[in-house]
Amino acid sequence: MTLKILIVEDEPAIAELIAINLTHAGFEVERAFQADQAVLMMKDTLPQLLILDWMLPGKSGVQFAKELRSNPKTNALPILMLTAKGEEADKVTGLDSGADDYVTKPFSPKELIARVNAILRRQLPSTEDTPLAVGPLKLDPVAHRLMAVWPNSAPKSIALGPTEFRLLQFLMSNPERVHSRAVLLDRVWGNEVYIEERTVDVHIKRLRAALAPWSCDNLIETVRGSGYRVTKNPVQN
């Protein structure tokens, strides 16, 4: 499932910067320039998250956040507030208005994506115990077991290191979808934010090496310029 994020920001350059980075991280993005427009866009379907600028023409972001929180239809909608203000008092006002988190301009796109992912992780139901299957791979998180099950042969148990297991579990829980290295770092490594992105490549390589004896390594695909994905229909090579 692609997660949809609505950006409410009147400054086109900032809205564009955010949209590009979110799209690159695998999100579907919609944009509104002020609150009234956002209300219309959310009439039929809600996004999974709202990125809301504090200073908007017409209704302010703070006022809009308060209204969304007091409406039963939108009171659970996660809100990430954006602002040029950096004062501690403003931060409190922003959070009091109902925002889930707060990013001060100028912000790094990487930080913004990390905040978005952190909010979404808190919101989404935990799927950590759900058994997963993609093609011949069957992963059981509770038993911490990975099996390769090919037709007409006995199931094979595949040994993986803990990081490779978590990495594969995340990829298999979102099959066919491309994940950037930044997203994988956030979802698999979590709070250890100072790990370099090439760490992901190292663990992908180990993961493929562990899967290779069971002819499952090509299920982990490199998508050039974007990242990695697990697919049940790998390109034959």
Two tokens, residue 202: 């190292």
Residue nearest to Ca ion (CB): 55
Q: What is the 3-state secondary structure (H, E, C) of the chain?
A: CCCEEEEECCCHHHHHHHHHHHHHCCCEEEEECCHHHHHHHCCCCCCCEEEEECCCCCCCHHHHHHHHHHCCCCCCCCEEEEECCCCHHHHHHHHHCCCCEEEECCCCHHHHHHHHHHHHHHHCCCCCCCCEEECCEEEECCCCEEEECCCCCCCEEECCCHHHHHHHHHHHHCCCCCECHHHHHHHHHCCCCCCCCHHHHHHHHHHHHHHHHHCCHHHEEEECCCEEEECCCCCCC
Least CB distance to Ca ion at residue 147 (A) = 52
Q: Is 67 in the site for Ca ion (CB under 5 A)?
A: no
Q: Is 17 in the site for Ca ion (CB under 5 A)?
A: no
Q: Is 10 in the site for Ca ion (CB under 5 A)?
A: yes
Residues between 176 and 215 that touch Ca ion (CB under 5 A): none
Nearer CB in complex with Ca ion: 10/30: 10
**Which range touches Ca ion (CB under 5 A), out of 42-50, 52-60, 103-111, 155-163?**
52-60
Q: Is 118 in the site for Ca ion (CB under 5 A)?
A: no
Least CB distance to Ca ion at residue 11 (A) = 5
Q: Is 140 in the site for Ca ion (CB under 5 A)?
A: no
Q: Is 53 in the site for Ca ion (CB under 5 A)?
A: yes
**Which range touches Ca ion (CB under 5 A), out of 25-33, 41-49, 51-59, 171-179?**
51-59
Two tokens, residue 196: 């370099």
Q: Is 164 in the site for Ca ion (CB under 5 A)?
A: no
**Which range touches Ca ion (CB under 5 A), out of 7-15, 142-150, 155-163, 179-187?**
7-15
**Which range touches Ca ion (CB under 5 A), out of 18-26, 40-48, 55-63, 155-163?**
55-63
Least CB distance to Ca ion at residue 53 (A) = 4
Least CB distance to Ca ion at residue 10 (A) = 5
Nearer CB in complex with Ca ion: 112/188: 112
Nearer CB in complex with Ca ion: 22/220: 22
Least CB distance to Ca ion at residue 32 (A) = 12
Q: Please name which of 65, 113, 61, 69 lies closest in space to residue 85, comparing C-alpha atoms.
A: 61
Cβ proximity of 6 and 42 under 8 Å: yes
- Sign, CA dihedral 224-226-227-229, equals negative
Residues of this chain that bind Ca ion (CB under 5 A): 10, 53, 55
